[in-house]
Chains A and B, each alone.
Chain A
Amino acid sequence: MIRIRNLIKTFGSQLIFCDFNCEFADGGKYLIAGESGIGKTTLLRMIVGLERPDQGRIESDEDMTFAMVFQEDRLIDDMSAIENVLLVNPHCSVSLIRQELAKLLPEDQLDKPVNELSGGMKRRTSLVRAMLNDGRIIILDEPFAGLDEENRRKALKYIDEKQQGRIILLCSHEDDELQDYIRIDL
């Protein structure tokens, strides 16, 4: 369970969050919704600890460990998809990573440096990297950006398959297929 209490956050003179309260239950899937620039990414960044709220608390009963798909792919360009996933998941074997990546990417692309992959392939690589991680809270910031319909469907299925009782917080403009997510409107 994550509890957000009386959160206040400003950017310069602009008030982004004013006394914001919210709870995310274990095993829940949440869609953080709202128009562009309303503070979806800022909220996610505060939850993972990359930004500090001006006031308020973000707390949990247990240690909060995270895995994240960032708005940008944040992969190491000259490393392959397999190496990038292995970097943050050293507990996984190369063969397991190859098998998992092959669910979303063509197998012949897995050993190439990621800077030779398309934007969509990089996106799927960063999704596999996050979902294989043992973080208790999975943060997905626009995980379907640049994916066509078929790949989006596959990615969504992959997220469900790998959730394993963890909290998922997802920001996406594509919310048609996310009816089973609890919607949090900002």
Chain B
Amino acid sequence: MKRKVLIILGWICLWQILAAVIHNDILMVGPLQVLSALFHMAAEPSFWISVIATMSRIIAGFLLGTLAGVLLAWLAYEHELIRDILQPAMLFLKAVPVVSFIVLILIWAGGVWLGFAISMIVVLPIVYVNVLEGLMNTDRNLLEMAQVFRLAKMTCIRKIYSRSVKPYFISALSLACGMAVKSGIAAEVIGQSRNTIGNGIYMSKVYLAIDQLFAWTFVILLLSWLFEKAVSILLAKAGKHL
């Protein structure tokens, strides 16, 4: 632990030295300037409005994408035809660059729903593919046992399927959390959605305020970490009830 802290401090010192050597606030700022910019930004109500607006849309998209991914995976598991129909759609969602979706949604729905929609589009195929994989790998012997003993579907889901799907679901969500935040904010930057973190980053580019760009980046990292932690805590709590 102590060694890790020392390593991080070493990197921060290197960053400060690099900023001092370059000595150009448009190209590079040091950690102290970033901290100062962060305090100034946090003192403005618009900062908090942006954070709340961005995260609420991304979280909503994440939740809807997760829910849709789980439901579609279950349908695909139960019906081979649905699985075959969904396969190219999921491949399409995974293969098409996010930026294409961003522009398309921008044209169709404008910037307000951009973070929400992109976060959902990114999360859905990740959750779908992983949950389906978990379902397909469920122990056939236990399912036969459940069939012979006439176990209720809900009991099978809670006691048999959940055990198989759990590791896939957890790894899908931990991957999807970071992806949702990064893609959602990238969409806001491109779409210049008003009162969002993405718009803050865009403005820091327009005004060449690199200290604000770094400060926003730090905020995104922090939010992404907090989001992932919250999801893993919720998953651990939910897992205890299964």
Contact = CB atoms under 8 A, between A and B. Distances in A.
Partners in one complex: yes
A19 interface: no
A67 B147 contact: no
B160 interface: yes
Which interface class (under 10, 10 to 19, 20 to 34, 35 or more) fits B? Answer: 10 to 19
B240 to A, nearest CB: 13
Interface majority SS on B: helix, strand, loop or mixed?
helix
Interface in A68-100: 68, 70, 72, 74, 76, 78-79, 87-88
B163 interface: yes
Contacts, number: 39
B149 A50 contact: no
Given A76-B163, A78-B163, A87 B151 contact: yes
Contacts of B49: none
A74 B163 contact: no
B82 to A, nearest CB: 24
Interface residues of A, number: 18
Contacts of A87: 151, 155, 159
Interface in B128-142: 141-142
Contact of A76 (B144, B147, B160): B160
B142 A74 contact: yes
Contacts of B148: 48-50, 66-68, 135, 139
Contacts of A48: 148
A65 interface: yes
Contacts of A67: 148-149
A125 interface: no
B150 interface: yes
Interface string A47-65: 0111000000000000001
Interface string B153-182: 001000110010000000000000000000
Given A65-B150, A88-B151, A70 B145 contact: yes
Interface of A: 48-50, 65-68, 70, 72, 74, 76, 78-79, 87-88, 133, 135, 139
21 contacts: A49-B148, A50-B148, A65-B150, A66-B148, A66-B149, A67-B148, A67-B149, A68-B148, A68-B149, A70-B144, A74-B141, A74-B145, A76-B142, A76-B160, A78-B163, A79-B159, A88-B145, A88-B149, A133-B149, A135-B149, A135-B150
Which 3 residue pairs across A and B have the least CB separation, nearest first? A88-B149, A74-B145, A68-B148
